[in-house]
Amino acid sequence: MSGTRGSEKSVFQFQQAIRLLLAVVGLAAAAQFSFAIPGTDIPQTGQTIAVLLSGAMLRPGQAALAVMLYLLAGLLGLPVYSDGGSGWSALSGISAGYFAGFVAAAYFCAVLIPAKRQAMILFNTGVFIIAHGLILALGWAWMSLEIGARTALSEGVTPFVYGGLVKSLICAGLLYGWHWLLSWQLWSRQCPGQ
């Protein structure tokens, strides 16, 4: 009996490690993907989408760890930050507050969106909007130390508010689709002849 528990625990730990690895790879890939949002001339990356979805799909500690591992990969020189950035200067520069916001936002989403809430599209949209606000607030706070509060607001927050709203809707839609897909797979396994 204890051998079965041990192997189940090993399988569970392996699955968790794979989830963390996929989250880190997803973050790195999303950071390289940029797109324009109609109505703005500021390019947006998929980075915050990946951060928030990692939070919504992992447990709180795992979500924060996934983002920290992503940040560590960049710190060690892997070109995983937006535009292929990496190293201490990219991590500790004017964008450092945003990186801290990634960890906080992933954890925040993980706490407020457990698996049983993944289908609550309106609730999740609100959580994602607040999480984007958290990223922008921490980014602004750090940037304010470097260039002043007013300039940090006009250059580091205001241009990204609309994008954050749009990306929050994208996150909620993707999470809902993911939940629906998992529910459908579970249903099809339970009713194979249907």
Residue 191, class by beta-carbon neighbours within 10 Å (0-12 exposed, 13-18 middle, 19+ buried)?
exposed
**Residue recorded with tokens 């560590």:** 72
**What's phi and psi for 100, nearest 5 deg?**
-65, -40
* Domain around 99: 19-190
pLDDT tens-digit readout, 131-175: 999 999 999 999 999 999 999 999 899 989 988 999 999 999 999
Residue 133 covered by a domain? yes
Look-up of token digits 């968790």? 16
The token pair at 152 is 């940090």
CATH number at residue 61: 1.10.1760.20
The answer to the question of residue 3 being in a domain is no
Is residue 10 situated within a structural domain?
no
C-beta atoms surrounding 52 within 10 Å: 33
Sign of CA dihedral 66, 69, 74, 75: positive
Residues with Cβ within 8 Å of 59's Cβ and at least 6 positions away in sequence, in order, are 110
Residue 2 has pLDDT above 80, yes or no: no
Q: What is the pTM of this model?
A: 0.85
**In this predicted model, what pLDDT tens digit does every residue of 9-29 receive, in sequence order?**
787 788 888 889 999 999 999
Tally of domains within the chain: 1
Burial class from Cβ neighbours inside 10 Å (0-12, 13-18, 19+) for residue 130 reads: middle
Task: Report if residue 13 sits inside a domain.
Answer: no
Hey, which residues does 34 pair with through a beta bridge? Answer: 45
Which tokens is 146 given?
């470097």
* Residue 78 pLDDT grade (very low, low, confident, very high; cuts 50, 70, 90): very high
The pLDDT score that the predictor gives to residue 4 is: 67
Looking at the domain assignment, is residue 117 inside a domain? yes
**Share of residues in the chain with pLDDT > 90 (%):** 57
Is residue 5 assigned to a domain?
no
Distance CA 8, CA 5 (A): 5
Q: How far apart are CA 163 and CA 169, in angstroms?
A: 10
Residue 99 burial by CB count (10 A; 0-12/13-18/19+): exposed, middle or buried? buried
Residue 92 lies in a domain: yes
Distances (CA, A) of 98 to 47, 155, 178: 11, 13, 27
- CA distance linking residue 39 with residue 32, whole number of Å: 22
Domain-located, residue 82: yes
